Amino acid sequence: GAGVSQSPSNKVTEKGKDVELRCDPISGHTALYWYRQSLGQGLEFLIYFQGNSAPDKSGLPSDRFSAERTGGSVSTLTIQRTQQEDSAVYLCASSFGTSGGWVFGPGTRLLVL
């Protein structure tokens, strides 16, 4: 597609459940980023993938969060045993290398009840 797509667009889950968030980057973009946007807060870095290099996972807030990128394309962010403080908009972006312009997806709005 022409842009970055994310699914689902909205997710409501119960505390303690696991959720999977998907990101389809722009074809050919080698870099992929996950950020989290909480109400009243700036965007917070979560994880970065670049080609076949090991990802930088230093922004993941706890070991309940994990992410993978298959075939250098689609990425999945998994949150296990969700907590209410995980409620946020999860944004994915991609770029052609880190010097290329970033293109963000529309985000997944996660609400943990």
Partner 1 sequence: TQLLEQSPQFLSIQEGENLTVYCNSSSVFSSLQWYRQEPGEGPVLLVTVVTGGEVKKLKRLTFQFGDARKDSSLHITAAQPGDTGLYLCAGDGGSNYKLTFGKGTLLTVNP
Distance CA 3, CA 38 (A): 23
| 8-67 positions binding partner 1, by CB under 8 A | 31, 33, 35, 40-45, 48, 50, 56, 58-59
Distance CA 50, CA 13 (A): 31
Binding of partner 1 by 72 (CB under 8 A): no
Binding of partner 1 by 107 (CB under 8 A): yes
Distance CA 104, CA 4 (A): 6
Sign of CA dihedral 69, 2, 39, 8: negative
* Nearest to partner 1 of 93, 110 (CB atom): 93
- The residues binding partner 1 (CB under 8 A) are 4, 31, 33, 35, 40-45, 48, 50, 56, 58-59, 91, 93, 98-99, 101-107
